[in-house]
Structure 1
């Protein structure tokens, strides 16, 4: 059984055939609609290589969700600092508040670049997920080891029509959460992974 990384149907990932094979594709997949064009890599020569195959990325709306979330937290922290300082004379609030604000500002600055470092690849026997620029992580999840494929999204995610997909395996350390997928991509990917995982477990 093989799993091709380039599906045929532009509106969904194609289902596996009776032999467990995913057909070749000549049209773009729903996984690549509204996403970034290329995985961002570190500049160093010792970086983890991308390797061969098609890498799918996160939806562009994911950046806006992260920026809005971090911006709201930053606004709350700054407001709390001002209230404690002006209303109660607690000038010490600027120390922890300043540290938290600096971290949040840095997070906002690197969010677009960080989001482009996420990528996942559908290979013959597993799904490979990578993320990070300073701290890189690459995880390969065998299809036959998947026990649960879960989709979650909060109010802000729903407003931007994105969701996150969680892959649960027997070993907790190999679990993967892919954030920032479009709703259609998350649902299509979930259905295909479930079909392939069931085929692998039954030995077909």
Structure 2
């Protein structure tokens, strides 16, 4: 899938074909938001009902507003995430308002691992974590389908070994 952006700049290098992360990442993140914000909102509403204190309604209303904000924001954030494999490096981009792009040369990678918690496994997604010699340049690609995460881990590890062997 090619990037829909026509512009070329620091976040959209020319000729780069971006691969999106799985849309199931949005569902997993929304489930987390529902648990962390929805459950306390319901508890706050029950407390406000039982106590009869009108001021207590501010808590569930604020939590519900944050939950609505998550429902709007999270899918956009996930759509903005992507990665691209080039001949000598891997590009990772994310962000809507605060955009970032990380370029990781294959020769700088020390090891690559795949992680998935219980919620991620339930949605069939995983995170590929890249570790380099400098902790500040470690990068992660969250929300990859499990088979793509495995493929990418093996591909990056072999490219990294090839680049190190050539030094």
| Counterpart in the other structure of 1:32 | none
Please, which runs of 5 or more residues in structure 1 have no aligned partner? 1-36
User: 2-side partners of 1:190 and 1:115: how far apart?
Assistant: 21
User: 2-side partners of 1:93 and 1:198: how far apart?
Assistant: 59
Per-residue deviation, 1:112: 1.9
Say whether 1:119 aligns with 2:82: yes
Give the structure with the higher percent helix.
2
1:178 is paired with a residue whose SS is strand
1:195 is paired with a residue whose SS is helix
Per-residue deviation, 1:64: 1.7
Any conservation in 1 of the 2:88–2:105 contact (CA below 8 Å)? Answer: yes
Please, which runs of 5 or more residues in structure 2 have no aligned partner? none
TM-score (norm 1): 0.70
Give the structure with the higher percent strand.
2
Bigger mean CA deviation after superposition, 143-152 or 96-105: 96-105
TM-score (norm 2): 0.84
Cα-to-partner distance string for 1:109-132 (whole Å, 9 max, x where unaligned) = 122222111111111221110011
Bigger mean CA deviation after superposition, 193-202 or 181-190: 193-202
1:178 to 129, 141, 157: 141
Number of matched residues? Answer: 167
